[in-house]
Structure 1
Amino acid sequence: MSKISIFGSGNMGSALKARFEDAGNSVEFIGREDEVKPLGDIVVFAVPYPSVKDIIKKYKAELTGKIIVDITNPLDFNTFDDLVVPADSSATAEIAKELPDSHLLKAFNTTFAAVLANKTVGDNVKPRVLVAGDSESAKEKLIDAVEGSGLDILDAGKLKRARELEAVGLLNISLAAAEKISWSQGFHLYK
């Protein structure tokens, strides 16, 4: 069991809180107006990518050594048609530069909140979440924290795979925004 701190209590943060609690973890939301306080073993950034900068500024010392799960999709919110990070990087890699002593993971960004909340994608298929990161122990701790939640996690490789996960997230969001798919559907990796 882990103590998990989630920045962001919107649709994604709320769905993740429920899934982590299903797996027996202790979960708290951290709001932007909250005083700085000790954080859990696992910290989730469930906020728009531009908001991460303020979190890091306020909590940099508390984030040191933590497992950070970045679920952001660094979209250009004006067009919903591009990513705002360098083409050879990712939001997670950019965050890792700011938090070099933390263990960055990319996960949940290719899975919509409704899929997480319902624990199904498409025709009642159990959602499979992809996770990328350089720390094998951090990935294992996240996988353990999701065990029993109604989700599967598949290790997608090193942190450099976050770039591809963010591209899939962009495609998923743009298809749903154009009403070509439902927000309760999306990509699923069968194995």
Structure 2
Amino acid sequence: MKKIGVFGTGTVGKTIASKLIALGYEVKMGARSADNEKAAAWVKSSGDKASQGTFTDAAAFGDIVFNCTKGDISQDVIKLAAGNLEGKILIDISNPLDFSNGMPPTLIPALCNSNSLGEALQELLPGTHVVKTLNIVTSDVMVDAARCGGEATMLMAGNNAAAKKEVEAILRQFGWSDIIDLGNIRHARSTEMMLPVWLSVYLLNNNAFFGFKIVRP
């Protein structure tokens, strides 16, 4: 079973990392400092398959790496770890959200419409297979698709077909059975721009446990 690195110590990072541990993977959680307190607490509660280190350490450890950092810092994080991501799969689940004016956040202008965070990370990592997925639901639904109350659709985008097959296998372990491969990483624009819709529904119902369903013949 492949080793996995997880960038980020927040709710999303911990949720993803904990699910991967439950599935039997060895997981290293990465942060700016090797002794990050949130990462240490997660390791303590997660057993002997869990470890922690810097972003660079997590990138070196993982055969596959999840980017669970906030979208406004993801590019800086990737620059720190880029040397250890060559030839690997980076599953990018972050969104380019700007919270500077409070809730609801807006999309960062330079990373929407004619660009996306997924594309920006792929440009920084020409030798890495960036796959955009899971960014259209809340973290608990990411790792347990049934939590949305029905059979929702998960979308993904990336340039490398073999990498997407590996990512699809993990998505299925997370309970996703209806998966659509949109094509190359440019389609990260579409999924990232679904976030305003997600936020509108969330704020209306004060409930994050939902997903999107693509109905087709």
- Match for 1:164 among 181, 186, 190? 190
Is the deviation greater in 98-107 or in 75-84?
75-84
Question: Which one has the largest radius of gyration?
Answer: 2
Matched, 1:61 2:83: yes
Q: Provide closer, same or farther for how the CA distance between residues 86 and 131 of structure 1 changes in structure 2, counting only shifts above 3 A.
A: closer
The TM-score normalised by the length of structure 1 is 0.86
How much does 1:7 deviate? Answer: 0.4
Check whether the contact 1:20–1:145 (CA below 8 A) recurs between aligned residues: no
Q: Provide closer, same or farther for how the CA distance between residues 151 and 50 of structure 1 changes in structure 2, counting only shifts above 3 A.
A: same
Matched, 1:114 2:140: yes
Task: Specify every segment of 5 or more residues in structure 2 that has no aligned partner in the other structure, as ranges.
Answer: 35-53
How much does 1:32 deviate? Answer: 1.7
The separation in 1 between residues aligned to 2:175 and 2:165, in whole angstroms, is: 17
Compare relative contact order (CA 8 Å, sep 6+) and give the higher one, 1 or 2.
1
The TM-score normalised by the length of structure 2 is 0.76
**The residue matched to 1:185 in structure 2 has which SS?**
coil
**The residue matched to 1:111 in structure 2 has which SS?**
coil
Q: How does 1:1-191 map onto structure 2 within 5 Å? A: 1-34=1-34, 35=54, 36-37=56-57, 38-79=60-101, 80-84=105-109, 85-116=111-142, 118-123=144-149, 125-152=150-177, 153-176=179-202, 178-180=203-205, 182-190=207-215
How much does 1:182 deviate? Answer: 1.2
Name the count of aligned residue pairs: 189
Is the deviation greater in 20-29 or in 63-72?
20-29
Q: What's the C-alpha RMSD, in Å, of the aligned pairs? A: 2.2
The separation in 2 between residues aligned to 1:187 and 1:58, in whole angstroms, is: 34
Between the aligned residues of both structures, percent identity stands at 26
Task: Specify every segment of 5 or more residues in structure 1 that has no aligned partner in the other structure, as ranges.
Answer: none
